[in-house]
A and B are shown apart, each in its own frame.
Chain A
């Protein structure tokens, strides 16, 4: 039902005593009610109402067709409980799908975070080529770098990745050390060079011997 009947209030002239007669007629009178037979104003209406109610009470009670009741009971006999577990089962199935999707999402997110958001700049233990100092570091830093690289290697025993091997800090350090070693070896720490002319040319002193004087 979409529309309610408009309300029709009882006119204000309606006496509470007359409404009380209706309650009294149907056994719904409040305590300390009036006695209509003793009130000359209400006695006539009371008798009239009783007469009509007598007609109404004499009406035979009607019942629906028994076949209708049987059809209703047959419809009721369909298992009530069966509907609810079915709904619960569907709900459980939805929850499982949702939980599976969430788990998959977390796994994909983890993999993505592991491999795609691990930028080399932020990854400990890696030094990009741009970060390698172009000027030779002081030799005193080498033990500290070595210890740090050693500690990080102990903490993260991950397999070497071929595409990152070139940028491995230890390798860079090793190359750097080799470069320093070569530099150190290639730089002679000799005394200031003597002029060639000052070198002895004879007299048993070692030095350069002119080719014409060499004894073959």
Chain B
């Protein structure tokens, strides 16, 4: 038997079944933690934010007028809380800066901010370094593109859910994802071109 998220929530709320809540946490821990880790790039901070997220979830569930309405969207609801926790942290660290329209979705000015140093082509062949570099490139993405990428790739939200969560149209969410992938590819391929041109 594979209970749904809503059934587990009901089991926790109505019977106080803590193991049901554990199943909820463990079922989605990779998605939520992966999103948080991609946002803050620090495993310790991501752990703290993960815990903070679920403490907020518990507090919200224990209110009589809980904001979760059991419409089969548990993950999206928890991710909204996780996003708020992450943005609170990033704003407190001033690592999340609102993007002005002049920055552009095309990423023209963004490329000017890319660091000059780049690893050699041989390093990219190694899987571990590839992943590390990929993570570093994701971190360098413009915030709005990085967030959509993490919400789709790590948290596995649909683009419609991402649009609702971030308060944009679905086409904007799709466009941000497209530019995120294109920019990511350019960043990943850029070091390979430099040795070839030399």
Please, what's the 1-or-0 string for B78-119, where 1 marks a CB less than 8 Å from any CB in chain A? 000001100110010000001111000110000000000000
Contact of A56 with B178 in the complex, beta carbons under 8 Å = no
Given A8-B101, A63-B30, 6 extra CB contacts under 8 A: A6-B100, A11-B175, A19-B174, A21-B178, A56-B184, A69-B25
Contact of A68 with B61 in the complex, beta carbons under 8 Å = no
Contact of A72 with B30 in the complex, beta carbons under 8 Å = no
Contact of B13 with A80 in the complex, beta carbons under 8 Å = yes
Using Cβ atoms and an 8 Å threshold, which residues of chain A touch B105?
8, 10-11
**Interface range on chain A (Cβ under 8 Å from partner):** 35 or more
Q: Which residues of B contact A (CB under 8 A)?
A: 12-13, 16, 18-19, 21-22, 25-26, 29-30, 33-34, 37, 43, 46-47, 50-51, 54-55, 58, 61-62, 64, 83-84, 87-88, 91, 98-101, 105-106, 127, 130-131, 134-135, 143-144, 149, 152-153, 158-159, 166-169, 171-172, 174-178, 181-182, 184-185, 188
- With a 10 A CB-CB cut-off, give which of B54, B88, B135 has the most chain A CB atoms: B54
- Shortest Cβ distance from residue A72 to the other chain B in the assembled complex, whole angstroms: 4
Using Cβ atoms and an 8 Å threshold, which residues of chain B touch A48?
181-182, 185
Query: Once the chains are docked, how many angstroms separate the CA of A26 from the CA of B156?
Result: 9
Contact of B172 with A73 in the complex, beta carbons under 8 Å = no
Contact of B182 with A68 in the complex, beta carbons under 8 Å = no
